[in-house]
Chain A
């Protein structure tokens, strides 16, 4: 049984003073997420990612289309016992402490006092909030609220978990911890559906991703599938010894970062270019095939210019 089936989900919002005009936020979205998958939902701001998640959670109602989670309609509130949800930029009752908040949410799953106490302790520890367990949420930073939000979403061992921008507001350590939590959930056989605009996270974590732009689905597949694996070019990094100069044939295609140089040539020209560099006394530091990344695919879809270069990242080692 698929974890999530979305069929033709559409959402229009009324706009204007008389609210007679409609603006389409989500257009005929159809998706299928298999059980146990980590599924990334990508798109720029305003693409319709949060709208989709809100529709699935029953917070807003579709103009057209249907969706089922574990075979049950999204209108079925009892189905919510099997799902967890972290809203985007979560905000909780700030007069409660983290422990009280989790205890409050655990009550909706019908746990007894001892079970609640144990679960709250366990999940506070999992998200690293044990030292702040008895601090009121009004004193929490954005990252700490995000951690509390993740804890409440998985507190009741849901089968399908929805995270809306789970890495938002987290420092690098926090992001790594959330990645570990998601991978751990996958190991336990849970389905994780998360929206993000941090493409490296999606590439690292997701079995499959979907890209949404202006409310329309642009593509679905494994990160390696939706971007071509064909090599587009070869990247050469090198240094010039003292007194050496760049070969004239390459001079127009080279960028310099400190003492290091970078050039991009076609696969066919690789060996002749290397010979040229060796003849001028250059020291070859590395040769890397250039493949399009999920980010390239994403940027092409949203119609933005490609970033100038990602040589600095490749050069790092």
Chain B
């Protein structure tokens, strides 16, 4: 395996750190501290549920904003600023650069998600309940969020290879929202009893990634266990889908003229 993507990935992570991207952790920490203090006063018996829902939703939202807004600029920015020119004159293949950028942002998201999950654990501890065995579902939910972000990043990167950041953001968010409601869209198609609508909604259901499957926030809040089968199924789904999208991105980028 070539070491080139690793070199690019570490530099992408360093860029995120130097550009103070991880400062969002401070915002998250403030939200968690504020929520922990308030929840104890306004909710009776459901403080754990509220903290988990709020914490995981914030982790998901902050991660999504980072994945989309940094992801759409990953390649575009390098072309616009022409930093890519001297890099591609080195013995670096275009797909190696692309994979490096992807894993660099993924590393940033993983570090960010890990620290936020730690913050959530701290808030849960603060509201006074000892950790119970079912709390492991919070970790599973955070892992699912990371898988979801891995997919979103791959999609944003694909668009970044041939489109402007504004359009890429629009396309990525459209796919994300469609993916969240993938099940509902298919149901809607079935209800219309129109063969064309059914075909379209079925097509969308199978083509757009089903982000609904990665939502374990409710289960974590109620302390329900997530079956192990779902964990590996989601992992496999995210890995395969991201691989497919990144292969497409590499194919597009391989023939792109860098003006």
Contact = CB atoms under 8 A, between A and B. Distances in A.
Interface string A144-180: 0000010011000000001000000000000000000
Interface string B1-24: 001100100010011001100000
Contacts of B195: none
A83 B89 contact: yes
Interface string A94-116: 01100000001101111000000
Contact of B85 (A59, A77, A79, A110): A59
Contacts of B258: 54, 59-60
- A: contact size bracket: 20 to 34
Nearest to B4: A108
Contacts of B92: 77, 80, 108
B259 interface: yes
A265 to B, nearest CB: 52
Contacts of A92: 83, 86
Nearest to A164: B85
A93 B18 CA distance: 11
Contacts of A108: 4, 7, 87, 90-92
Given A93-B11, A104-B7, A108-B4, A153 B86 contact: yes
B18 A95 contact: yes
Interface in A74-133: 77-81, 83-87, 89-93, 95-96, 104-105, 107-110
Nearest to A138: B18
A61 interface: yes
Nearest to B6: A107
Given A87-B82, A91-B81, A57 B88 contact: yes
A87 to B, nearest CB: 4
Contacts of A153: 86, 89
Interface of A: 13, 54, 57-61, 77-81, 83-87, 89-93, 95-96, 104-105, 107-110, 149, 152-153, 162
5 contacts: A59-B88, A89-B82, A105-B87, A108-B87, A149-B86
Interface of B: 3-4, 7, 11, 14-15, 18-19, 81-93, 255, 257-259
Given A81-B91, A108-B91, 20 more contacts: A59-B85, A59-B257, A60-B258, A77-B92, A80-B90, A84-B89, A85-B89, A86-B86, A87-B86, A87-B89, A91-B81, A93-B83, A96-B14, A105-B86, A105-B87, A107-B7, A108-B4, A108-B7, A110-B3, A152-B86
